Structure 1
Amino acid sequence: MGRIIVEQHVTADGFAAGPNGELDWVDGSVSETGPMVDQALSELEHADAILLGATTYSLFVSYWPRPEAASDPLAEPINRLPKHVVSSTLAAAPWGEFAPATLETGNVLDTCDRLTSLYDRDIIVWGSLELAGALMDAGCVSQVRLRIAPVAIGSGIPLWTAPYRSRALTVSSVTPLSTGQVTVIYDVD
């Protein structure tokens, strides 16, 4: 049975994006090489699928399947893994020259149950804050991986934007990186 893993970049003061959705603060701690990419590649080795909301899908499809992303070491696993997009508005979810993503139009709990039955290993949710909150509320999230950037932006969009029931988290690991970033992995109780 697969596990839903929510993975998100956040600022040290807990924001997943700036007030208008800006992600410029991420650029200083992420590059195409280095400890965070190595960590992400290792985690992708244990993934069977990627689950995205419609907005994050639009951002990802505008970069990952394009030729200019081919040199990025994350491109191959991201493009190869099956992708599922939760949306009530998209009619299709093409992925460049690669297999299209599967649209998920049902309720979140049914989607969670089906995907965790379909896959044996991790199903990674990137970005997709509304989806991540709905999955957390439905009790579907097994693990939360926070990539904490060494920056405070003062205001912005918080990690959890949807109301959700309180969930206890247990620290599984804390890994400081040479970039100043810290990866904290929590198991959801």
Structure 2
Amino acid sequence: MRKLKLQMQLSVDGYVAGPNGELDWMTWNLDDGLIQFINDLTDSSGTILLGRKMTDGFMNYWEGVVNNQPESPEYPFAKKMVDTPKVVFSKTLPASKWTNTTLANGNLADEIANLKNQSGKDIIVYGGAGFVSSLIKEGHIDEFNLFVNPVMINKGMRIFDLADKRQKLSLMDTTAYPCGITVLRYQLARE
């Protein structure tokens, strides 16, 4: 069975975006060690999950790099983002308009179970906040990769507020990187 892994940027005070989705607080000058960790995490995954609200910005950005900036240092990673199959969860879209992307609009638990039962590499979810909150609430995320940025933004969007019961996690490891980001890796403790 494939694992569902979360990769999410957080502020020290637990926000994943500003009140209007702002990401200007994130650390952008990543060091080589963190870039390698991100590449390894991405390479261990054969499917990307996204919520509908995040998909436009995500796809426009990475497709823009692939189509217009082949000399960019982001190009190899952007190519992975475009080439990796993506599943967008939406109750309102009738069809996908993005490259290498399918829609999932059924029951969340059934859709996730179906994806996890497919063969292949693990699954990674990047967001958005509401979609990730739903996955956390229902206990679907197997591994949490939380990128804690050295900033407090004091208000904004969170991902843990919908949880209505305790979920025990087991620490896998923690790594502080020179750029200031500390990656906390947890797995959901299955009982």
TM-score, normalised via structure 1 length: 0.90
Q: Distance in 2 between matches of 1:33 and 1:77?
A: 19
Cα distance change on mapping 1:22 and 1:82 into 2, 3 Å: same
Q: Distance in 1 between matches of 2:119 and 2:29?
A: 30
- Asked if 1:81 is matched to 2:84, the reply is yes
Quote the residue 1:138 is aligned against. 138
In the comparison of the two structures, how many residue pairs are matched?
184
- Asked if 1:13 is matched to 2:13, the reply is yes
1:31 offset after TM fit, Å?
4.1
Alignment-mate amino acid for residue 88 of structure 1: K
Q: Distance in 1 between matches of 2:140 and 2:116?
A: 9
Q: Distance in 2 between matches of 1:163 and 1:170?
A: 17
1:157 offset after TM fit, Å?
1.2
- Asked if 1:92 is matched to 2:90, the reply is no
Deviations 1:5-39 (A, max 9, x none): 1111000111111122211011xx22476332221
Q: Distance in 2 between matches of 1:88 and 1:33?
A: 38
Q: Distance in 1 between matches of 2:185 and 2:25?
A: 21
Matched residue of 2:142: which SS?
strand
- Report % sequence identity: 28
**Mapping of 1:9-88 within 5 angstroms?**
9-26=9-26, 29-31=27-29, 34-66=32-64, 67-68=67-68, 70=70, 71=72, 72=74, 73-88=76-91
Unaligned 5+ segments in structure 1 are none
Matched residue of 1:173: which SS?
strand
Quote the residue 1:173 is aligned against. 173
Asked whether the equivalents of residues 134 and 164 of structure 1 are also in contact (C-alpha less than 8 Å), the reply is no
TM-score, normalised via structure 2 length: 0.89
Q: Distance in 1 between matches of 2:163 and 2:81?
A: 29
Asked whether the equivalents of residues 31 and 37 of structure 1 are also in contact (C-alpha less than 8 Å), the reply is no
Cα distance change on mapping 1:154 and 1:69 into 2, 3 Å: farther
Asked whether the equivalents of residues 31 and 178 of structure 2 are also in contact (C-alpha less than 8 Å), the reply is no
1:133 offset after TM fit, Å?
1.9
**Mapping of 1:88-167 within 5 angstroms?**
88-95=91-98, 98-99=99-100, 101-167=101-167
1:69 offset after TM fit, Å?
5.4
Alignment-mate amino acid for residue 16 of structure 1: V
- What RMSD over aligned residues (CA atoms) do the two structures have, in Å? 1.7
Unaligned 5+ segments in structure 2 are none
Asked whether the equivalents of residues 5 and 142 of structure 2 are also in contact (C-alpha less than 8 Å), the reply is yes
Q: Distance in 2 between matches of 1:109 and 1:142?
A: 14
Alignment-mate amino acid for residue 82 of structure 1: P
